[in-house]
């Protein structure tokens, strides 16, 4: 079942799983297209509070939300709305409601500082924000920096007209009627932020067509078990955030299309997670490697907790064979009893491009899988740029209908990332074997991944550079057993200036969210190694970092 597809000219590989039909559906229509088949089945449940909506209720709330946004909030098609929300059932309502109203959604990690959110929301000119009580202070502060701001939606809160606050409940209860626009599948509907191969986080423009194509690709008949099993009543427990492309499209939308019951928790705690395993008996878990490591190694997680689990999908950062094996040992199950699937993707590709098929040979554990349908790949040499054959490592290039339209307001970065032939330059180093299974071995881009979260070294560097004592700085990712990587800073001080490691740590901790903090440490050096073009030689620093 896993025969490689023929190699095309110039070592271009195509998917062994065929093609999808790229259609004209909009994301919200596609996601709820089969809802009559399971309208009274549970759709999305908060694993911490038990709050739950069935499919019919969710769809009705989506429609009312769209009308409220176009009505009382006066949001016009194409305008941006920013979500500052953890994984709660209302996330589904707000994001699909906004898209149904023709709005473009951008989402931020709710644990971001006001500075971080503000930078993103200003960049794409957000005109309304939706959030929960805990993050209202951030939302109100950020809203002051936004032009033509139209209002804040408070999930779980009441109207406060004087402050421009709309309670979600009262918006939905009022059942407003507005003129909703006719949507075009080529319209941008989502702008998540990614640092790409270099620099600060940039808005990634994804269209309905990009996102729907990817949903079709990951449901490829033959590649996945799911053919003919729709609506079977799977229960999915997921922690990866809905405000990241993997959580939003790869998990939320994917499971909505299939009519599955999505259980999530707004904040990971071992107790809540284990309670969900026991109470909901999930058949599928969506995880990142650090969560897999938690289950495999934490003494609180017992094999009895994992008895209902049939499939685990892991991705967003590298995981190891030995961690996968440790997990199976913990469950006392074989790979035939629990399928460990891996996927690889990027925000810039909606996100999935490589995935292990549901059935694959044991020896391929550790691979991120094969090309999903309608996707092509090339591996090009890092030095000369020529296309390489099997078992040769080089930069991974990808092409398919899921590749972004471009970066928001940044033509230069777009051109550097998606070339004139449509190839997405991933900045990841990979190779493939004879059966066209891919293996990620390294990264040429600057990106640091902490527990699956993106960390842009440029962003941390720019915060440290604000200190007058600092002459130069570079941040790199250092390997870490649980988080995968953690950031470490190399700082050059100006002559006769003093800063302690703690002071540098604190500068970052004040401005940026927790997973961006310098857990890899701070080292003071005489100079930062750079090439002739002034580009930081990060690999040299990584080697040095282990010694400092």
Q: Which is nearer to ligand 4UW, 49 or 320 (CB)?
A: 320
Find out whether 139 and 85 touch, Cβ atoms under 8 Å.
no
Crossing angle of helices 321-331 and 289-297, in 10° steps, is: 40
In angstroms, what is the minimal distance from the CB of 44 to ligand 4UW?
19
Report the residue number, 130 or 352, with the smaller CB distance to ligand 4UW: 352
Q: In angstroms, give the least distance from the CB of 6 to ligand 4UW.
A: 25
Alpha-carbon span 140 to 149, nearest angstrom = 11
Minimum gap (Å) between residue 159 Cβ and ligand 4UW = 36
Which residues lie closer than 8 Å to 338 by C-beta, 6 or more apart? 306, 309, 310, 311, 312, 328, 331
Closest-approach residue to ligand 4UW (CB):
315
Nearest CB to ligand 4UW, comparing residues 38 and 254: 254
Strand pairing category for 42-46 and 13-14? unpaired
Cβ nearer to ligand 4UW, comparing 113 with 426: 426
CA distance 518 to 475: 9
Measure the CA–CA gap between 248 and 409, rounded to whole angstroms: 23
User: What's the closest the beta carbon of residue 21 comes to ligand 4UW, in angstroms?
Assistant: 21
Q: What DSSP letter does each residue of 116-152 carry, written as one string?
A: HHHHHHHHTTEEEEEEEGGGHHHHHHHHHTSTT--EE
Instruction: Report the alpha-carbon distance of residue 256 to residue 31 in Å, rounded.
Output: 6
Token duo for residue 486: 């953690």
String of DSSP letters for 243-258 = TSHIIIIIIIIHHHHT
Beta carbon nearer to ligand 4UW, 129 or 429: 429
* Euclidean distance between CA atoms 123 and 106, whole angstroms: 11
Residue 362, exposed/middle/buried by CB under 10 A (0-12, 13-18, 19+)?
Answer: exposed
Positions touching ligand 4UW (CB under 6 A) are 194, 245-246, 250, 313, 315-318, 342-347, 351-352, 355, 368, 426, 428, 440, 443, 449, 454
- Do the Cβ atoms of 260 and 253 come closer than 8 Å? no
Q: Are 418 and 197 in contact (CB under 8 A)?
A: no
Task: Report the distance separating Cα 64 and Cα 55, nearest Å.
Answer: 14
Q: How far is the CB of 338 from ligand 4UW (least distance, A)?
A: 15
User: Least distance to ligand 4UW from the beta carbon of 169, Å?
Assistant: 33
Q: Which is nearer to ligand 4UW, 58 or 374 (CB)?
A: 374
Instruction: Using the minimum distance from each CB to ligand 4UW, give the nearer residue, 100 or 451.
Output: 451
Nearer to ligand 4UW, 129 or 313 (CB): 313
Residues sharing a CB contact under 8 Å with residue 20, sequence separation 6 or more, in sequence order: 213, 216, 217, 220, 373, 374, 401
Nearer to ligand 4UW, 113 or 454 (CB): 454
Closest approach, Cβ 427 to ligand 4UW, in A, equals 6
- Residue 165 Cβ, how far from ligand 4UW at the closest point, in Å? 32
What is the residue-wise DSSP string for 336-352? Answer: TTSEEEEEEE-GGGSSE
Closest distance of CB 443 from ligand 4UW, Å: 5
């Amino acid at each position: 079942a896993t025969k490689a597809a023929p190699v095309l000219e110039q070592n271009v590989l195509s998917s062994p799983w065929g093609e999808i039909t790229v259609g004209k559906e909009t994301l919200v229509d596609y996601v709820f297209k089969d809802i009559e088949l399971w309208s009274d089945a549970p759709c999305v449940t908060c694993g911490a509070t038990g709050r739950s909506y069935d499919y019919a209720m969710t769809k009705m709330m989506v429609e009312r939300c769209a009308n409220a946004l176009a009505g009382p909030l006066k949001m016009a098609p194409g305008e941006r709305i920013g979500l500052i929300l953890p994984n709660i059932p209302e996330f589904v309502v707000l994001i699909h409601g906004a898209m149904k109203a023709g709005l473009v959604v951008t989402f931020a990690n709710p644990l971001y500082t006001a500075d971080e959110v503000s930078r993103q929301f200003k960049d794409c000119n957000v005109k309304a924000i939706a959030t929960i009580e805990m993050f209202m202070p951030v939302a109100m502060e950020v809203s002051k920096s936004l032009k033509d701001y139209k209002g804040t939606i408070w999930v779980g809160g009441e109207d406060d007209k004087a402050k421009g606050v709309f309670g979600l409940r009262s918006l939905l209860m009022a059942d407003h009627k507005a003129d909703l626009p006719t949507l075009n599948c080529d319209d941008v509907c989502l702008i998540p932020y990614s640092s790409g191969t270099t620099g600060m986080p940039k808005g990634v423009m994804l269209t309905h067509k990009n996102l729907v194509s990817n949903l079709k690709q990951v449901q490829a008949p033959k590649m996945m078990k799911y053919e003919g099993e729709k609506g079977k009543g799977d229960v999915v427990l997921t922690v990866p955030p809905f405000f990241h492309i993997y959580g939003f499209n790869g998990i939320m939308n994917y499971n909505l299309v299939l009519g599955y019951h999505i259980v999530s928790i707004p904040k990971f705690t071992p107790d809540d997670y284990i309670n969900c395993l026991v109470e909901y008996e999930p058949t599928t878990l969506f995880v990142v490697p650090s969560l897999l490591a938690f289950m495999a190694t934490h003494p609180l997680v017992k094999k009895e907790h994992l008895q209902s689990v049939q499939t685990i999908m892991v991705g967003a950062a590298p995981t190891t064979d030995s961690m996968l094996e440790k997990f199976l040992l913990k469950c006392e199950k074989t790979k035939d009893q629990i399928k460990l699937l891996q996927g690889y993707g990027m925000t810039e590709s909606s996100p999935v491009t490589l995935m292990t098929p549901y059935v694959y040979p044991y020896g391929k554990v550790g691979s991120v899988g094969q090309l999903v349908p309608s996707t092509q790949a090339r591996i090009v040499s890092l030095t000369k740029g020529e296309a390489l054959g099997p078992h040769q490592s080089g930069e991974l290039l990808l092409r398919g209908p899921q590749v972004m339209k471009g970066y928001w307001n940044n033509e230069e970065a777009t051109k550097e990332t998606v070339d004139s032939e449509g190839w997405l330059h991933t900045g990841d180093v990979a190779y493939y074997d004879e059966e066209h299974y891919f293996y990620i071995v390294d990264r040429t881009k600057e990106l640091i991944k902490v527990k699956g979260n993106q960390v842009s070294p440029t962003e941390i560097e720019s915060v440290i550079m604000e200190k007058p004592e600092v002459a130069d700085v570079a941040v790199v990712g250092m390997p870490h057993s649980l988080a995968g990587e953690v950031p470490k800073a190399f700082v050059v001080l100006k002559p006769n200036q003093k800063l302690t490691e703690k002071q540098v740590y604190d500068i970052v901790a004040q401005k940026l969210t927790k997973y961006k903090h310098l857990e890899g440490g701070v080292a003071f050096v005489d100079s930062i190694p750079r090439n002739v073009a002034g580009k930081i030689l990060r690999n040299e620093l990584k080697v040095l970092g282990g010694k400092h």
